[in-house]
Amino acid sequence: MIDSLSIKPTILVIEDEMTQRNLLKKKIEKLGYHVLTAENGGDGIATWSKDMMAIRIVITDLLMPHTDGFQVIKEIRAQEKLRTYIMALTTRDDKEALIKALSTGADDFVAKPIVSEELTLRLRGARRLLRLQDHHCLVSGLAELAAERGGESSAHLQRTKQYCAVLAADLMKEREDQEITEQLVEDIATMSVLHDIGKNGIPDALLMKRGRYTPKEYEIVKEHTVIGGKILMDLYQQTGSHYLLLGHEIALSHHEKWDGSGYPHGLKGLAIPLAARIMCFVDVFDNLLSRKPYKDAMPISFVEKYVHEEMGVSFDPDIVACYGRNKPRFLEIQRALPEREERW
């Protein structure tokens, strides 16, 4: 059985020079890590592949005979299942190698000769980032659970994620005001899977109910927006990570409508955050096209008609226009990600 208290974070050091390798090992061990070493790139990759779930940080020299550090970085990026934090060992004035390492996929660097204080700070940064990513995995797992309980599939999460990416990327191209960046496009898509995370706080009996909700029940179900918004706001306040704030906006406001008739706050028009306006559209679009316990899948002709009728009512007109420009891509995504099995 794994005992969490006995686990020390593992770092792999790949360095061909023995003195440098041993020195680095000693310094890192003093900081409380378990250190594995490899004396060349090939051995380094082999050691990492054997235990990639435990080795979350790799420090690799760049210039080594045969398999060099750049190949190590490429190989790890190609094989990793969980993000491995890679630090390149560079000589202080070799800017060219440093830039090449970072553009190949290294996350950070440690300059030789190694200064202990610098190493401590850089490793602290590495662990902070890995912790955020672990948070991310945990939160995505909760999102799947919430979706499953709420009668939505993981395919729905994947489709809506891709629709979000298409819409946000198109809006970025359309507008030249720099408000939407590539990072924002990626973050909106990543965070979209959390839209119904608040359903974890709604009783099973309601989520699984097949008939219509009574007005009182509906009020309870609507609370999933506030619950989800709070979960993500709490995480944001603990970590300061901006993408969680985006997740908060999506979870809280994905049922707001353009004309102000949505919930939980009856926000109107541009007062609804952009990510939530996008989410609202793709969620409804995908739900109409999917079979549910209480309804059949609607044909695309019906969905198109509905979307146009709701333009300026439920949906932001800009987003409906954006959908219009990308319709073939939407249909491709829908075909590529069908429901895995007959769910109902």
- Residue located via tokens 């707001």: 256
Q: How far apart are CA 227 and CA 250, in angstroms?
A: 12
Residue closer to Fe ion, measured from CB, 196 or 316: 196
3-state helix, strand, coil in the chain (%, to 5): 60, 10, 30
Residue identified by tokens 């202080």 is 92
Question: Least distance in Å: CB of 96 to Fe ion?
Answer: 48
Tokens at 38, concatenated: 């490899």
Q: Return the number of the residue (122 or 255) whose C-beta is nearest Fe ion.
A: 255
Instruction: Kindly state the smallest distance separating residue 338's Cβ from Fe ion, in Å.
Output: 16
CB of 254 to Fe ion, least distance (A): 6
- Of 37 and 162, which CB lies nearer to Fe ion in the complex structure? 162
Instruction: Starting at the earlier edge strand, list the strands of the sheet with 85-91.
Output: 34-38, 10-14, 55-61, 85-91, 108-112
Residue 119 or 227 having the CB closest to Fe ion: 227
Neighbours of 278 (CB within 10 A): 28
Binding site for Fe ion (CB under 5 A): 196, 283
Residues 6+ apart with CB under 8 A from 200: 142, 145, 146, 149, 227
Q: Which residues have CB under 8 Å from 322's CB, separation 6+?
A: 167, 170, 171, 174
Residue 255 beta carbon to Fe ion: minimum distance, rounded to whole angstroms: 6
Smallest gap from Cβ 176 to Fe ion, in A, equals: 31
What is the smallest separation between the CB atom of 18 and Fe ion, expressed in angstroms? Answer: 56
Q: Decide: helix, strand or coil at residue 170.
A: helix
For Fe ion, the closer CB: 40 or 153: 153
- Closest CB to Fe ion among residues 84, 200: 200
